[in-house]
Structure 1
Amino acid sequence: ADSIAHKADEKGLEFMSYLSPDVPSRLIGDPGRLRQVLVNLSGNALKFTNDGEIYIKGELAEDLGDKVKIRFLVKDTGIGIPKGKQATIFDSFTQADGSTTRTYGGTGLGTTISKQLTEMMGGEIGVESPADRNLKLETHNSTTQPLNHSTRIGGPGSAFSFTAVFTKQKGEKALLPKEEIDLSNLRVLVVDDNQTNRYILMEYLRAWGCLPVEAMGGKEALSILKESVSSREPFNLILTDFQMPEMGGFDLAKEIRATE
C-alpha cells in the first residue's frame, strides 16, 4: 500500500485503505499471491485514474469455522470499463478498448493473472463499472454491499472485488500486549470533505465503542457543535482534515476557540 500511496500522491490522487475490525489479526495464507493481486489491481487503478481517489478495503466475507473468507475491494474514480467489455476483462491480453493500450500502455495481462491467483487462494474475482453500482463477484452466490462511499470527483470508476480463504492461526499470543483503553460512548465529531475518509473514520470509531457524528466541512461542523452545546451533549473529541474547501481545519479550530 505504501508504494501505491506514494505514486498516487505524485498524480495528485487521494489514496485510502481500510481493514475492517472484524478481520482476524492472525491468519495463515499466501501473502505472496495476495500481495500480487493487490499490486496488479491497484496498479491498474493508478494507471487509469487521473482525478479523484483510489480506495482499498478488506472485510470479513464469511466465517468458515477454522477458516475465514476475506473480501478485498480495489475501487477507483478512473475511466471505468464499458459494460460490454466487463465479461472479457479477465481474458488473456484483453483490455477494455484498443485505444486504452495506445494511451495507457500495458497488455491487460494483470487481471488474468489476478483471476488465476485468486482461484488458487480459493476465491472468486469480479468487476463492476460504474463503481457505485452493487458489485457482483464472478460467481452468482456472493455479492458485496452497495459501493456508495466514494467521492464523485473523476470518472465513472471501476471496482474490482475478490475473495480469498485463510486458515485461522491458533495458540499464538499477540506480539505486543494491548493496553486497555475504554473509548465507550466517547462523542467524536469527524470533519472531512472526502466521503470515503469519513466512512473509514466512522467505522473505526464505532468499532471502538465511540459515538461518532460526521460533517462535510467546517461550516457544517460549527453548526453541529452549536447544536450540541444547546442540547448539553458536547463532543469529547474533534477529528478534522486540515485542507478543505471554504473552511480548513486550522480555520475551524480558530472559530471554535473564538466562541469558547
Structure 2
Amino acid sequence: MIIVNDILDLSKIESGSLTLEQRPFDLKKTLKHVYDLLRVKVHDGVEFNLYLDAGLPEIISGDPGRLNQILVNLAGNALKFTMEGEVTISVKKTAETDDSCQIRFVVKDTGIGISQKHLDTIFGRFTQAEQSTTRKFGGTGLGLNIVKQLVELHDSNIQVKSIEGSGSEFYFTLSYKKAVLETSPPEAKLFNDLGRLSILLCEDNYLNQKLAQNVIEGFGFKIDIAENGSQGIEMLAHGEYDLMLMDLQMPIHDGYQTTKYIRKEMNNPIPIIAMTAHSLAGELHRCLDAGMNGYVPKPFKQHELLEAIKSVLKKDIIF
C-alpha cells in the first residue's frame, strides 16, 4: 500500500493534477502534530526534538497536508536511520513582509549518514544510498523523490548535507501568505418550552443509559432509568411520567412486549418513543403497530431526539 500510494502521488505530480491547497492553518499546531505522530518511531537512546522559532507566524495560508507529508518523510527517515544521538526538526522564520513570510525547515540527525558519491542521486526515484539499505531498514526508495517534487511544487528546492557515519541535514525554505483563521460560531444550544418533563428510560446498556441521561438532563428534563421492560412496567405503575424512551432489545421483556403490556394490560396512553440500533426495513411500522408513538435510531443525535419528543407531545419547541 505504501508503494502504491507513493506511485500514485508521483503520477499526480507528473500529470499536473496534484495542486496545493490554499487555506488558513495553524503552523505550530501542524508541526506539533508531525512531532507527536513520529515520537513512536524513536529508538531507545535517541533524543527527538522540535525547535520552533518564537517569531513564527501563528496562521499562514497554504497546504498543511503536503507540509505534513514532506516533514513526516524527512523526519521519519532520520529516525529510521538514527540508532543513537538525536534527531531534530527546526523551523525558523527567515524573512517577512506585510503579507507574507519565508520559513526555513531543517531536519537534522546523527544517523548513518550518506556517502558523498550518493548525495547527487539520493533524490532519485527508487534510489537509496546503499543496496543493503532496503534490506536492512525497509522503504520504497520513493520518499525523497516525492519530497523533492513537493518542495518544488512550492517553488522552492531541497538541499542536503551529510557525512557518512555522522548524520545528515535536509533543509528547504517555503514562502507562505499570512492569514487569519476564521472561527466558526459556537453551535446554538437546544432550548425547549416543554417545562420540566419527567421521562422514564428503559435501557439495559450502562453506557447508553449514561449517554441518554446526560442528553435528557441537558434538555432540562428529569429522568429515571429502568434496566429492563419488567422494571419499567413496575416504575410506571408507581410513578408519574410524561414520556417513555424504550430500547427494543432488553432482557426479561423487550421493548415490544413492554409496550404491548402498557397499552393493553395497563391501558396507559403515555407517549413512547422507540430507541434502537437496528435499522431493519419495516421496524418503524412494527413499533407503531406495538403501540409506540415515535422512533429514534441509535446512535441518536440530540436534535433528532428533541424533535421526536416534540412530535409525540405535540408541543412547540423553540430553537
TM (normalized to structure 2)? 0.44
For 1:86 and 1:64, how far apart are their aligned partners in 2?
Answer: 34
**Corresponding residue for residue 94 of structure 2:** 61
Q: 1:113 aligns with which of 146, 165, 172?
A: 146
Letter in 2 for 1:120: L
Residue 38 (structure 2) pairs with residue 4 (structure 1): yes
User: Across the two proteins, how many residue pairs are aligned to each other?
Assistant: 149
After superposition, the CA RMSD in angstroms is 2.0
Residue 122 (structure 2) pairs with residue 89 (structure 1): yes
**Corresponding residue for residue 163 of structure 1:** 173
- Return the index of the structure with the highest Cα Rg: 2
Residue 135 (structure 2) pairs with residue 102 (structure 1): yes
Contact persistence 1:22–1:59 (CA under 8 A):
yes
- Using the TM superposition, give the Cα deviation of residue 164 of structure 1 relative to its aligned residue in structure 2, in angstroms: 1.6
For 1:105 and 1:59, how far apart are their aligned partners in 2?
Answer: 31
For 1:31 and 1:112, how far apart are their aligned partners in 2?
Answer: 19
- Using the TM superposition, give the Cα deviation of residue 3 of structure 1 relative to its aligned residue in structure 2, in angstroms: 2.3
1:119-158 to structure 2, matched below 5 A, reads 119-130=152-163, 155-158=165-168
Taking a change above 3 Å as real, the CA distance of residues 171 and 114 of structure 1, as seen in their structure-2 partners, is: closer
**Secondary structure, counterpart of 1:50 in structure 2:** coil
For 2:98 and 2:119, how far apart are their aligned partners in 1?
Answer: 34
Question: Would you tell me which structure has more helix in proportion to its own residues?
Answer: 2
Specify which structure has the bigger relative contact order, considering alpha-carbon pairs within 8 angstroms and separated by 6 or more residues: 1
Q: Which runs of 4+ in 1 moved over 4 A?
A: 170-173
**Corresponding residue for residue 49 of structure 1:** 82
Quick one: percent identity of the two aligned structures? 50
**Corresponding residue for residue 221 of structure 1:** none
For 1:48 and 1:83, how far apart are their aligned partners in 2?
Answer: 17
Letter in 2 for 1:2: D
For 2:171 and 2:127, how far apart are their aligned partners in 1?
Answer: 18
**5+ residue gaps in structure 1?**
132-154, 174-260
**Secondary structure, counterpart of 1:128 in structure 2:** strand
Contact persistence 1:30–1:121 (CA under 8 A):
no
**Corresponding residue for residue 37 of structure 1:** 70
TM (normalized to structure 1)? 0.54
